[in-house]
């Protein structure tokens, strides 16, 4: 039993619940690397259920502070789902109208969650993925720029700054100088870039690894195959040390293993990040006999329920 319990926080708003997410040791899926600590940073514990709560809340609050966003404007952005849920949640909390452009093939759960907060959703071509949604939202804003506030999560410096001031600080606070490797999926790139920049300021050398799909056409929703995509303006390849490419099958299979073996029901991009972390841990175990790897678990698996589960057998 724990010797003491931390006092429960009293919050003035749901926005204050963002961050301070737990780190959970993964011992079963990393059993082949017993000398290495492997941790999952559970971003699914944010109020909107994903890592995107950090960037969305910071982008919105900073825009309100500067006067760019108020109740007289509609916040509009493109999203594959999680940022949209976060915008919708915080829009409801702040009294801000939200309109989102999503590829029509994003999971039904995320469409429904965003709509539940009163958000208007516009669907873009599913075959064009997140890049098609970006192009579509830009066309909408160009036609009526005074009507909208367009935070543009792919270009907004507050996206990586949310992780520089939040995620990175929390990891260092929890693990100190034990951490040797950090792993995160590459989507907008805000998480990997911002967190890596903060970790690189630590006196201990920490190797930062970005996770990408192996192929342009993949089933790791939320991740970008950078070579075949529009590169986000906030992306900085110098912020991290290497790229680890993961197949759709490996990402899906690790997500399944996390549910069965660690009681963590996570999304497939999280499965990909943990797969990479475990492979890194195996190498550390055999070559160095120790280490500490942290992987970002960016969201929950319940956002990937029907109708996608059955597609695995033949679509990917």
- pLDDT-derived band at 129 (thresholds 50, 70, 90) equals confident
Q: Look at the block and give the residue holding tokens 């724990």.
A: 2
What percentage of the chain's residues is helix, strand, coil (to nearest 5)?
A: 45, 20, 35
Q: Using an 8 Å Cβ cutoff, are 51 and 308 in contact? A: no
Distance CA(236)–CA(137), nearest Å, equals 24
**What is the three-class DSSP state of 277?**
helix
Judge whether residue 99 has pLDDT over 50.
Answer: yes
Residues 6+ apart with CB under 8 A from 237: none
Kindly state the average pLDDT of the residues 159-176: 97
Q: Do 14-50+160-315 and 52-149 have matching folds?
A: yes
Please write the tens of the pLDDT for every residue from 13-68: 999 999 999 999 999 999 999 999 999 999 999 999 999 999 999 999 999 999 99
Q: How far apart are CA 228 and CA 316, in angstroms?
A: 17
Domain boundaries, the chain: 14-50+160-315, 52-149
The DSSP string of 136-197 is HHHHHHHH-TTTEE---TTT-THHHHHIIIIIHHHHHHHHGGG--EEEEE-SSSHHHHHHHH
Looking at every residue in the chain, the average pLDDT score rounds to 92
pLDDT tens digits along 57-91: 999 999 999 999 999 999 999 987 789 999 999 99
- CA 270 remoteness from chain centre: 8
Kindly state the average pLDDT of the residues 174-199: 97
Looking at residue 305, its pLDDT comes to 67
- Identify the CATH assignment for 14-50+160-315 out of 3.40.50.1370, 3.50.50.60, 3.40.50.1100, 3.30.70.580: 3.40.50.1100
Position 6 scores a pLDDT of 58
In CATH terms, the fold of domain 52-149 is Rossmann fold (3.40.50)
Q: What is the pLDDT of residues 1-11, one digit of tens each?
A: 344 555 678 89
The band of 222, judged by pLDDT with boundaries at 50, 70 and 90, is: confident
Tokens 């967190």 sit at which residue?
195
Q: Which residue has the higher pLDDT, 168 or 221?
A: 168
Which pLDDT score, from 0 to 100, does residue 306 have? 52
* Cis previous bond, 297, omega within 30: no
């Amino acid at each position: 039993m724990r010797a003491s319990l931390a006092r429960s926080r009293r919050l003035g708003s749901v926005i204050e619940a963002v961050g301070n997410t737990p780190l959970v040791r993964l011992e079963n899926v990393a059993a082949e690397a017993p000398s290495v600590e492997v941790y999952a940073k559970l971003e699914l514990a944010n109020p909107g259920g994903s890592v995107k709560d950090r960037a969305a809340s910071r982008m919105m609050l900073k825009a309100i502070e500067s006067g760019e966003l108020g109740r007289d404007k509609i916040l509009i952005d493109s999203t594959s789902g999680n940022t949209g849920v976060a915008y919708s949640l915080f829009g409801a909390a702040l009294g801000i109208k939200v309109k989102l452009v999503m590829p029509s093939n994003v999971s039904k759960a995320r469409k429904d969650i965003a709509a539940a907060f009163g958000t208007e959703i516009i669907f873009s071509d599913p075959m064009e993925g997140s890049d098609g949604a970006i192009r579509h939202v830009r066309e909408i804003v160009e036609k009526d720029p005074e009507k909208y506030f367009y935070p543009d999560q792919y270009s907004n410096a507050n996206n990586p700054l949310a992780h520089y001031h939040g995620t990175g600080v929390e990891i260092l606070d929890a693990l100190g100088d034990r951490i040797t490797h950090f792993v995160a999926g590459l989507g907008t790139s805000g998480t990997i870039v911002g967190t890596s920049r903060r970790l690189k300021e630590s006196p201990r050398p920490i190797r930062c690894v970005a996770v990408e799909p192996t192929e342009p056409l993949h089933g790791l929703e939320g991740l970008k195959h950078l070579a075949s995509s529009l590169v986000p303006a906030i992306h900085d390849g110098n912020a991290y040390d290497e790229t680890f490419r993961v197949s759709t099958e490996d990402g899906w299979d690790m997500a399944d293993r996390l549910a069965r073996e660690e009681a963590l029901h996570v999304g497939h991009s999280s499965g990909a990040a943990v797969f990479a972390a475990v492979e890194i841990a195996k190498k550390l175990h055999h070559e160095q006999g120790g280490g500490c790897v942290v992987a970002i678990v960016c969201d929950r698996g319940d956002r990937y329920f029907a109708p996608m589960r059955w597609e695995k057998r033949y679509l990917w």
